[in-house]
């Protein structure tokens, strides 16, 4: 389903109620063929992308990584395969890889895109992948296994303050926290509750749409101990589409190529890259 169509459904109480009724009445085994029937162009395009890529990332910092995506991502998040997902973060991701952290805590690991990608690009790192949804744990493990890093990616459930303290208790670790937890970052990233955060690099997606003022709160908490760089999401453009992948799709269906990269976000998205011990640095 195109994102613009979904936005219209969400904005209409009638159609959103009808959609929820449809999901409660129609079993998943029947919804898949119905989706293909009702949105044939989208179904064909996403199937083509997955098949042509052989389920591997075709651009960006994790190019070549094989993805075992969840059913939701297989339908809607082609940006993972196209390498355009959160492309605003390519610069800090490369900086993180160059720093060779001994431990990476990926809090909110979802399908394992970052957990496995960083394990591949940073072979000296141990990765702790925290994901609150248990149905995604096998997805992360399968992706780690097919990319030969399953021995360095450990999957856990939800992460709280106690878990952060436990996994950051060794001062000899050079740790990184990569976090995306839909607003709960305002609670977890609190140096008063987790003093070890003062020595960690942190790359966090902030969610002011869910917790108003979250970004500014985190900046204030860490400005004395960390260099802070803010990144802001921008709309995808045709130039973001990988030029050497399915060039006919890009040339003949440019609007569709851009739609395939849409990340389906709520509100204006921002990220903070917090570098420990570099409080003099900072930019937007």
- Residue 2: is it exposed, middle or buried by C-beta count within 10 angstroms (0-12/13-18/19+)? middle
Q: Which two tokens stand for residue 40?
A: 């044939």
Kindly tell me if the per-residue pLDDT of 263 is higher than 70: yes
pLDDT given at position 75: 82
Greatest Cα pair distance in the chain: 57
Kindly tell me if the per-residue pLDDT of 7 is higher than 60: no
What pLDDT, in 10s, does the model give residues 43-82? 888 899 999 999 999 999 999 999 999 888 888 889 999 9
- Residue 233: is it exposed, middle or buried by C-beta count within 10 angstroms (0-12/13-18/19+)? middle
Tell me the β-bridge partners of 269: none
Kindly tell me if the per-residue pLDDT of 152 is higher than 60: yes
Q: Which two tokens stand for residue 26?
A: 């129609």
Cβ(148)–Cβ(119) below 8 Å = no
Cα distance between residue 142 and residue 9, in whole Å: 34
Share of the chain above pLDDT 70, in %: 83
Tokens 């690099």 belong to residue = 201
3-state secondary structure of 64: coil
| Helix spans in the chain (H) | 3-11, 13-25, 28-38, 40-53, 71-76, 79-82, 90-99, 113-121, 137-146, 161-167, 185-188, 214-222, 247-252, 254-260
| Strand 175-179 versus strand 201-206 pairing type | parallel
Cβ(196)–Cβ(166) below 8 Å = no
Q: How confident is the model at residue 14 (pLDDT cuts 50, 70, 90)?
A: low
**Residue among 13, 157, 156, 133 at smallest CA distance from 73:** 133
Kindly tell me if the per-residue pLDDT of 131 is higher than 80: yes
Note the CATH number of domain 87-233+268-283.
3.40.50.150
- Axis-axis angle for helices 40-53, 28-38 (nearest 10): 100
Q: Which two tokens stand for residue 163?
A: 């878990």
Long-range contacts of 141-150 (CB under 8 A, 24+ apart): 142/68, 143/65, 143/66, 143/67, 143/68, 143/111, 143/112, 143/116, 144/112, 144/115, 144/116, 144/119, 146/66, 146/68, 147/65, 147/66, 147/116, 147/119, 147/120, 149/116, 149/119, 149/120
In the 3-class helix/strand/coil scheme, how is 112-161 assigned residue by residue?
CHHHHHHHHHCCCCEEEEECCCHHHHHHHHHHHHHCCCCCCEEEECCCCH
Please state the pTM of the whole predicted model: 0.86
Cα distance between residue 121 and residue 194, in whole Å: 28
Kindly tell me if the per-residue pLDDT of 36 is higher than 60: no
Phi, psi of 180 (to 5 degrees): -150, 95
Listed by start position, the domains of the chain span 87-233+268-283
What pLDDT, in 10s, does the model give residues 170-201? 888 899 999 999 889 999 999 999 999 999 99
DSSP state of 212: T
pLDDT given at position 245: 96
Cβ(58)–Cβ(83) below 8 Å = yes
Kindly tell me if the per-residue pLDDT of 283 is higher than 70: no
């Amino acid at each position: 389903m195109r994102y613009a169509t979904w936005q219209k459904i969400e904005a209409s109480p009638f159609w959103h109620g009808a959609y929820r009724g449809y999901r409660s009445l129609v079993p998943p085994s029947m919804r898949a063929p119905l989706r293909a029937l009702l949105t044939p162009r989208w179904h064909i395009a996403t199937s083509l992308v997955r098949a042509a890529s052989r389920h591997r990332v075709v651009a960006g910092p994790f190019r070549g990584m094989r993805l075992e995506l969840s059913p939701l991502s297989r339908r809607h998040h082609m940006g993972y395969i196209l390498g355009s997902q959160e492309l605003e973060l390519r610069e800090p991701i490369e900086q993180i890889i160059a720093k060779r952290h001994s431990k990476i805590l990926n809090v909110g690991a979802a399908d394992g895109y970052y957990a496995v990608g960083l394990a591949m690009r940073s072979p000296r790192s141990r990765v702790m992948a925290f994901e609150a949804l248990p149905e995604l744990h096998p997805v992360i493990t399968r992706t780690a296994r097919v990319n030969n890093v399953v021995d360095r990616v450990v999957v856990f459930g939800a992460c709280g303050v106690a878990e952060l303290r436990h996994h950051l208790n060794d001062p000899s670790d050079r740790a990184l926290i990569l976090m995306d937890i839909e607003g709960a970052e305002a609670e977890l990233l609190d140096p008063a509750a987790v003093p070890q955060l003062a020595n960690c690099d942190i790359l966090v997606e902030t969610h002011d749409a869910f917790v108003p003022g979250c970004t500014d709160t985190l900046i204030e908490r860490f400005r004395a101990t960390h260099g802070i760089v803010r990144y802001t999401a921008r709309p995808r453009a045709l130039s973001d589409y990988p030029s050497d992948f399915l060039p006919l799709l890009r040339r003949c269906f440019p609007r569709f190529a851009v739609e395939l990269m849409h990340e389906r976000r709520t509100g204006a998205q921002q990220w903070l890259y917090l570098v420990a011990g570099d409080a003099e640095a900072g930019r937007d």
